[in-house]
Chains A and B, each alone.
Chain A
Amino acid sequence: MHDHDDELTRRDFLKLLGASIALAGLDGCTRIPAEKILPYVTQPPELTPGVPLHYATSMVLDGYATGLVVESHEGRPTKVEGNPDHPASLGAAGILEQASVLQLYDPDRAQAVRYGNKTSTWQAFAAAMAPAAMRQRLGTRGAKLALLLEPTSSPLIASMLLRLQSLYPDMRVHYYAPLATNEQAIPQYDIKAADVILSVGSDFLASGPFTLRYAREFADRRRAPLTGMNRLYVAEPGFTVTGATADHRLRCRPTEIEPLLESLRGALEGRAPSSPWIAAVAADLKAHAGRSLVIAGDRVTPRARALATAINDTLGNTGRTVWHARSPLLGSGDPNATLLSLAHELSAGSVDTLVCIGGNPAYATPASMKFGELMGRAVTVVYSGLYENETARRATWFVPAAHYLEAWGDARAYDGTYSVVQPLVQPLFEGKSIIEVLAALAGDANADPLAMLRASAKAGGTAVDDESWASVLRRGLAGSAPLARAEMPARAESLAPGAASHEAVSTIEVAFAPDARVHDGSFSNNGWLQELPDPVTKLTWDNAALLSPDSAKRIGAATSDVIRLTHDSMSLEIPALIVPGQPDGVATLHLGYGRAGAEKVAAGVGANAYLLLPAADVFHLAGVSVKRVSDAAARALAITQSHWTMEGRDQARSETLEQYRAESSKPPVRQRQPLTIYDPQQRLDSPLQWAMTIDLATCTGCSACVVACQAENNTPVVGHDDVLKSREMHWLRIDRYLESGADNPQVVTQPMLCQHCENAPCEYVCPVGATVHSPEGLNEMVYNRCVGTRFCSNNCPYKVRRFNWFDYNANLTETEQMVKNPDVTVRERGVMEKCTFCVQRIREAEISAGIAGRTLRGDEVKTACQQACPTNAIVFGSLTEPDSEVMRRRSEPRAYGVLEELGTRPRVRYLARVRNPNPALERLA
């Protein structure tokens, strides 16, 4: 061996020279594509390349805003987080908000203005729509003009409509979204103040405008079970996230809801209840009068909602845990502003020009209404939407809509908070916002939405001088103007006894439900959402008729068998899916599937439940005959978890409040660790030792964390066929176990991710050392070194490792590539991947702390799943900080490690689920 000196002999020099020339020749083997890259000509002062910026904005769904903070890398939004200041978010973001960023980059989005079959321009559209051109057709007062908008609470849109109305005094504005409410008085809840909650047909923990806040408030009463834990009763015609979280859940048919509430009301007034369940609930509600709450969902009958209000009045809850407010939605409660009134106008032929902005009424309306055909009665149909969908196909003029991340706007939150919609990026596909389309109708083709927004905000009493306006934009909201309280209009007729309904044996009831993933169908072209397992059924890439085991047996259908549901002339063929806990005699259908637009992802996915939907605002249908279709060629349902029981194992633990109380008064039980001859103490040689706790008592299984993880970590979408083969790539999944009887099981949901075991079974079996341990206790995956033997996955008892079976990122379009988080490697074919504890966020925090010259604290780092979680069930931090939340939770008596008896020493610890059952009902069972 040579010494490592710097002397170079002549021979060595010649050798090196020869080798260099040979290697330089090899360079010619790689073709480097000729691509131009351009630096900033003038770099924006706020932008440092590589450092993301965050902007506050709001996403509007069914008329109400949820405040968000969106991360932007060099001008492209990549990740949606909640806005901690916003009352509808409190820092959390739900499934749809998280996934909306993928929709922004969707290559299927419409990209051009179209007139008939020809591509046109915005200028041509604006010219055609200008009042000068339109007046001849619409008459001076515009009586033949009708607008169909999505429900909106936007003061800006309201002001635009006023401007239009001054041009066309007789035009009509209608509002429709299948899942929005049209009530004039909207119920507001203080979930935190309620000791006992009865939810009837409501999924308030996972769906609806204020759901993130409600989930947080609900969880805050369950985090510390010994101090004022609340109790939740749920009676519902399907199986929802809220039902799965309940302490007591009653399966009931949609038609049983009114009798149930009637009986409950009677019981509270001293009459005999119709069942012991109602008796127990009534007694519990009464015992907590004034501190209890009855919630009736948006999709139960108006009469059931009136009954719930009456019960809250009786209990003295009104004004304490519940009150009503005037709906901020435009046209709410106006019978002339509904879809139905528009349908009448269309069929009467009194509409010449129908301008439809947003929504998808040709699809997302009850099929019996034949709204798509009715649209044809108008001479001109203008439609502005994100996609060339079913409605666009019937439109004379089509204008691509701007995504909310591309447009200025505003809206109110469910409590009336004025929220600003701030764009993060110029429209990618020349989309136009609703404001611009309305301005074009008013003759202003080159409107400045920002100026209009400021003017409108000023009119609404918000200070808009540059400094105040900057502060409004930074916060994403302005002031706090709670909605005026309103009386729930007492409807005498709605409280009168309803007609008793008796079901024929051969028929079933159908309950329609919003889909957790695609909502009403407006998100159905989103791969993240299609591949997100339904929080309850774990179904992906499809919807199905959810049946109880008993109903399925009566029909003779197994999961994936196609059944035909027929009512009058309407029928629907849809695969059955057996869900324990579903009420007998009820098929629950999720809306939003069976799309027929030009969207490629949504094509061929699921069945269209709108075909059976009886009417707008009616979400159940009785007397539906059902038959198994034996000759239908069905595609198998791709379900990510097919085994519901724990087989007597205890990976997801739960206990009652009584058991917990007894347990916490005793000394803590020693952890179940196997005997070993080795020193079990892992050397902690780094000052920060990362760890996580997940509280199963507050985890509702809503799955926001799953989408957050996918968005943060560039997890690919694999498609129906690969999910069917169990190849979904989610680094974080939510396991859902059913305990006790198959008819009405108790549910435990358990987020499962890499446990970052101190003794990781994956590490010692990797032949090339591609998965190794960091000094901070992270189990790291070195993609570059991985050869793909998959031994690590075989030896992982949690099965949280994911393998790139194909090159899942090979065919991404240019815009789809833009959604990728530049801080996270995009993995190639043939390598293993898994949860990293968001190592990129850890490093970012370390670097920031280093620049600021201070020591990083463990709880400064938030993982993506933690940040999205509405109930704060996930906490991340360092084991070396005894005062941290993560350490406090780890020392709880209900903390445990999954499969720790294997000696893996997982860094993730779970807190066992605690239930608060009613002893009276426990005795019953």
Chain B
Amino acid sequence: MSAVARPAPSLALAEGDDWPVMRGAPNDAAITDMVLAPLWHTRRIWWILFAISALGTLLLLATVAYTVTVGIGTWGNNIPVAWAFAITSFVWWIGIGHAGTFISAFLLLLNQRWRGSINRVAEAMTIFALVNAALFPLLHLGRPWFFYWLIPYPATMNVWPNFKSALPWDVAAVTTYFTVSLLFWYLGLVPDLASARDSAPSRLRRRVYGLFAMGWRGSGFQWQRFNVAYVLLAALATPLVISVHSVVSLDFSIAQLPGWHSTIFPPYFVVGAIYSGLAMVLVLLLPLRRAFRLYDIVTEAHLNAIAKLMLAMGLMLAYSYVIETFMSWYSANAAERYTYLASRPFGPYAVVYWIMTGLNVLSPQLFWSRRLRTNGTALFLASIVILAGMWMERFVIIVTSLNRDFLTSSWHIYIPTWVDWGILAGSFGLFGMLFLLFLKFVPSVAMSEVKELRIEMRKTPEQEPLRA
């Protein structure tokens, strides 16, 4: 870590940026050592966090087992509120998953170089968020053992899913997204797995990493093929960022329920998804940066860029809130107006609605301030708040629309049970555990990309020559 001690030269990539995307220009070996250190040495904090998240996973297993053996009745769902916590969490986790692909694929195509040091974390987050997300609609089925009936497979009885319903679209969209994200993540990992293989301290680890590195030698030929494949996959993944959450939003907007039946939903959901995803990236990245001392490769430039994006998404979301409410009034439909203008702001869930609006609309306004955009604590707290706010937003959309719809006679409140809360808490445990395993066994920064960035930066004229 000798390179870290050196004074930081200002290495701005783009004009107008005040912060470098990399400090101190550590050499390749230093980067490898820095990134791979957690793989070879396990710190006590990792064990503590792992124990906590494993407990959470156990809670998830227990509540899921209980639900599957006894029935969905263990949850608070009812008629009229047939969808509640589980679908809220599903949409929320899918949304979290968005930022990963957004950062790695979208920004790759847009040639945003700063993404290099954080894309690995973001992609891992995507995968694990999708694992969680997929869990909820599956569990949510009355007869989860028949989940595959939603998939268009050639059944002998010639029965197909109903393609008019948004749910089979949803299954297709999420599965595609998961597959592409996983491939994209793995492809990007291959050169780094080879680095891990090469510097692994034991024979067994060399074998295992070697297996997963799939014979990567770093030849020019391999790099050429790799880059082509990587960009192609990025091009494939980018439209998915838009499509997945658009399709998820159709689960609601194809219904005729006031509060769901709205054409603004697809863009509104995508914006919300990226918004919460970026918040989750920060929640993971900031502690990681501190724990592994990644200040040199995850710099204020990264934080600044993410904060700006979040501010933009927050404003778009606020705009959606306003338009959605306005349209309900403009529709002159009594049930629509009741949902948006009476039930949500003044009904039984008014507290959730106002906290949600406050958190999602007000907290990103902090990021008008340059100082706060690079302040780790402020960013972390704001991100937590936004994550909570976005979960509440989905809750408000789903539950407050269902609990008071057309016929006043069927109105009824929904109250979550301990199983609802247990599954939600448990899903955080599973997410945490998967992420910790990722940190322990997989290089958490895309070393190859960071090294590439270093070389590229060296080529700039004002750059002092690197020491070998």
Instruction: List A residues at the B interface (Cβ < 8 Å).
Output: 641-643, 645-649, 651, 722, 725-727, 733, 735-737, 750, 752, 761, 764-769, 785-791, 793-795, 797-799, 801-807, 828-832, 898-899, 902
Q: Which residue of the partner chain, among B77, B79, B406, contacts A802 with CB atoms under 8 Å?
A: B79
What residues of A have a CB within 8 angstroms of the CB of B171 in the complex? Answer: 767
In the complex, are the beta carbons of B255 and A761 less than 8 A apart?
yes
In the complex, are the beta carbons of A643 and B409 less than 8 A apart?
yes
In the complex, are the beta carbons of B142 and A787 less than 8 A apart?
yes
In the complex, are the beta carbons of A801 and B79 less than 8 A apart?
yes
In the complex, are the beta carbons of A727 and B165 less than 8 A apart?
no
Q: Given contacts A767-B161, A768-B161, A787-B141, list 5 more A-B pairs with CB under 8 A.
A: A647-B408, A765-B164, A767-B171, A790-B77, A790-B83
Is B384's beta carbon under 8 Å from chain A? Answer: no
The 9 listed contacts between A and B (C-beta, < 8 Å) are: A643-B409, A752-B409, A765-B166, A767-B150, A767-B161, A789-B142, A803-B142, A829-B142, A830-B141
| Given A643-B409, A787-B146, A787-B149, A727 contacting B78 (CB threshold 8 A) | yes
What residues of A have a CB within 8 angstroms of the CB of B335 in the complex? Answer: 649
Contact with A along B236-268 (1 / 0, CB 8 A): 000000000000000100111100100000000
In the complex, are the beta carbons of B407 and A797 less than 8 A apart?
yes
What residues of B have a CB within 8 angstroms of the CB of A785 in the complex? Answer: 149, 159
| Given A767-B150, A769-B162, A788 contacting B72 (CB threshold 8 A) | yes
In the complex, are the beta carbons of B165 and A765 less than 8 A apart?
yes
What residues of B have a CB within 8 angstroms of the CB of A647 in the complex? Answer: 334, 338, 408
A802 to B76, CA, bound (A): 15
Instruction: For chain B, residues 125 to 183, give those with C-beta under 8 angstroms from any C-beta of chain A.
Output: 137, 140-144, 146-147, 149-150, 159-162, 164-168, 171
Q: Which residue of the partner chain, among B78, B338, B407, B415, contacts A651 with CB atoms under 8 Å?
A: B407
For A643, A752, A787, A798, the residue with the greatest tally of chain B CB atoms inside 10 Å of its CB is A787
In the complex, are the beta carbons of A902 and B256 less than 8 A apart?
yes
What residues of A have a CB within 8 angstroms of the CB of B140 in the complex? Answer: 789
In the complex, are the beta carbons of A736 and B82 less than 8 A apart?
no
A806 to B160, CA, bound (A): 27
| Given A649-B408, A788-B141, A807-B71, A767 contacting B256 (CB threshold 8 A) | no
7 closest A-B pairs (Cβ-Cβ)? A788-B142, A830-B142, A805-B73, A767-B167, A790-B82, A799-B410, A735-B409
Is B402's beta carbon under 8 Å from chain A? Answer: yes
Q: Which residue of the partner chain, among A737, A788, A807, A831, contacts B409 with CB atoms under 8 Å?
A: A737
Is B80's beta carbon under 8 Å from chain A? Answer: yes
Contact with A along B379-410 (1 / 0, CB 8 A): 00000000000000000000000100111111
What residues of A have a CB within 8 angstroms of the CB of B70 in the complex? Answer: 806
Query: Shortest CB–CB separation between residue A332 and chain B, in angstroms?
Result: 43
In the complex, are the beta carbons of A768 and B162 less than 8 A apart?
yes
Query: Shortest CB–CB separation between residue B381 and chain A, in angstroms?
Result: 35
A241 to B451, CA, bound (A): 82
A803 to B77, CA, bound (A): 10
| Given A727-B79, A765-B165, A788 contacting B256 (CB threshold 8 A) | no
A769 to B152, CA, bound (A): 12
Query: Shortest CB–CB separation between residue B417 and chain A, in angstroms?
Result: 9
Q: Which residue of the partner chain, among A736, A798, A804, contacts B142 with CB atoms under 8 Å?
A: A804
Is B47's beta carbon under 8 Å from chain A? Answer: no
A769 to B162, CA, bound (A): 5
A725 to B77, CA, bound (A): 8
Query: Shortest CB–CB separation between residue B192 and chain A, in angstroms?
Result: 40
What residues of B have a CB within 8 angstroms of the CB of A798 in the complex? Answer: 406-407, 410
What residues of A have a CB within 8 angstroms of the CB of B137 in the complex? Answer: 789
A899 to B405, CA, bound (A): 12
Is B205's beta carbon under 8 Å from chain A? Answer: no
Nearest A-chain residue to B76, judged by Cβ: A725
Instruction: For chain B, residues 329 to 380, give those with C-beta under 8 angstroms from any C-beta of chain A.
Output: 334-335, 338
Q: Which residue of the partner chain, among B79, B146, B164, contacts A799 with CB atoms under 8 Å?
A: B79
Query: Shortest CB–CB separation between residue B466 and chain A, in angstroms?
Result: 57
Is B66's beta carbon under 8 Å from chain A? Answer: no
Is B412's beta carbon under 8 Å from chain A? Answer: yes
For A788, A831, A832, the residue with the greatest tally of chain B CB atoms inside 10 Å of its CB is A788
In the complex, are the beta carbons of A797 and B79 less than 8 A apart?
no
A804 to B70, CA, bound (A): 11
In the complex, are the beta carbons of B71 and A787 less than 8 A apart?
no
A649 to B258, CA, bound (A): 14
Instruction: For chain B, residues 58 to 90, give those with C-beta under 8 angstroms from any C-beta of chain A.
Output: 70-73, 76-83
Query: Shortest CB–CB separation between residue B152 and chain A, in angstroms?
Result: 11
In the complex, are the beta carbons of A805 and B146 less than 8 A apart?
no
Instruction: For chain B, residues 272 to 329, give those with C-beta under 8 angstroms from any C-beta of chain A.
Output: none
What residues of A have a CB within 8 angstroms of the CB of B338 in the complex? Answer: 647
In the complex, are the beta carbons of A768 and B150 less than 8 A apart?
yes
In the complex, are the beta carbons of A767 and B168 less than 8 A apart?
yes
In the complex, are the beta carbons of B79 and A726 less than 8 A apart?
yes
What residues of B have a CB within 8 angstroms of the CB of A807 in the complex? Answer: 71
In the complex, are the beta carbons of A765 and B406 less than 8 A apart?
no
In the complex, are the beta carbons of A764 and B71 less than 8 A apart?
no
Query: Shortest CB–CB separation between residue B277 and chain A, in angstroms?
Result: 26
What residues of B have a CB within 8 angstroms of the CB of A643 in the complex? Answer: 408-409, 411
Q: Which residue of the partner chain, among A642, A790, A801, contacts B411 with CB atoms under 8 Å?
A: A642
Query: Shortest CB–CB separation between residue B108 and chain A, in angstroms?
Result: 34
In the complex, are the beta carbons of B142 and A795 less than 8 A apart?
no
What residues of B have a CB within 8 angstroms of the CB of A736 in the complex? Answer: 409
What residues of A have a CB within 8 angstroms of the CB of B405 in the complex? Answer: 797, 799
A787 to B165, CA, bound (A): 14
What residues of A have a CB within 8 angstroms of the CB of B251 in the complex? Answer: 791
Nearest B-chain residue to A807, judged by Cβ: B71
In the complex, are the beta carbons of A761 and B79 less than 8 A apart?
no
In the complex, are the beta carbons of A767 and B165 less than 8 A apart?
yes
Nearest B-chain residue to A782, judged by Cβ: B159
What residues of A have a CB within 8 angstroms of the CB of B146 in the complex? Answer: 787
Contact with A along B19-54 (1 / 0, CB 8 A): 000000000000000000000000000000000000
In the complex, are the beta carbons of B168 and A726 less than 8 A apart?
no
Query: Shortest CB–CB separation between residue A798 and chain B, in angstroms?
Result: 6
What residues of A have a CB within 8 angstroms of the CB of B167 in the complex? Answer: 765, 767, 789, 791
| Given A645-B408, A764-B162, A798-B407, A727 contacting B73 (CB threshold 8 A) | yes
A726 to B73, CA, bound (A): 11
In the complex, are the beta carbons of B147 and A830 less than 8 A apart?
no
A769 to B160, CA, bound (A): 8
Instruction: For chain B, residues 166 to 218, give those with C-beta under 8 angstroms from any C-beta of chain A.
Output: 166-168, 171
A750 to B408, CA, bound (A): 12
In the complex, are the beta carbons of A794 and B408 less than 8 A apart?
no
What residues of B have a CB within 8 angstroms of the CB of A801 in the complex? Answer: 79
In the complex, are the beta carbons of A794 and B255 less than 8 A apart?
yes
What residues of B have a CB within 8 angstroms of the CB of A649 in the complex? Answer: 334-335, 406, 408
A436 to B168, CA, bound (A): 65
In the complex, are the beta carbons of A726 and B143 less than 8 A apart?
no
A737 to B411, CA, bound (A): 13
Nearest B-chain residue to A772, judged by Cβ: B162
A725 to B83, CA, bound (A): 14
Query: Shortest CB–CB separation between residue A854 and chain B, in angstroms?
Result: 35
What residues of B have a CB within 8 angstroms of the CB of A804 in the complex? Answer: 71, 142
For A761, A765, A786, A801, the residue with the greatest tally of chain B CB atoms inside 10 Å of its CB is A765
A150 to B219, CA, bound (A): 101
| Given A643-B408, A765-B254, A794 contacting B82 (CB threshold 8 A) | yes
Query: Shortest CB–CB separation between residue B156 and chain A, in angstroms?
Result: 13
What residues of B have a CB within 8 angstroms of the CB of A648 in the complex? Answer: 334
What residues of B have a CB within 8 angstroms of the CB of A787 in the complex? Answer: 141-144, 146-147, 149-150
A647 to B408, CA, bound (A): 7
What residues of B have a CB within 8 angstroms of the CB of A793 in the complex? Answer: 79-80, 82
In the complex, are the beta carbons of A795 and B257 less than 8 A apart?
yes
In the complex, are the beta carbons of B162 and A726 less than 8 A apart?
no
Contact with A along B85-114 (1 / 0, CB 8 A): 000000000000000000000000000000
A806 to B143, CA, bound (A): 11
In the complex, are the beta carbons of B162 and A766 less than 8 A apart?
yes
In the complex, are the beta carbons of A805 and B407 less than 8 A apart?
no
In the complex, are the beta carbons of B150 and A829 less than 8 A apart?
no
In the complex, are the beta carbons of A830 and B143 less than 8 A apart?
yes
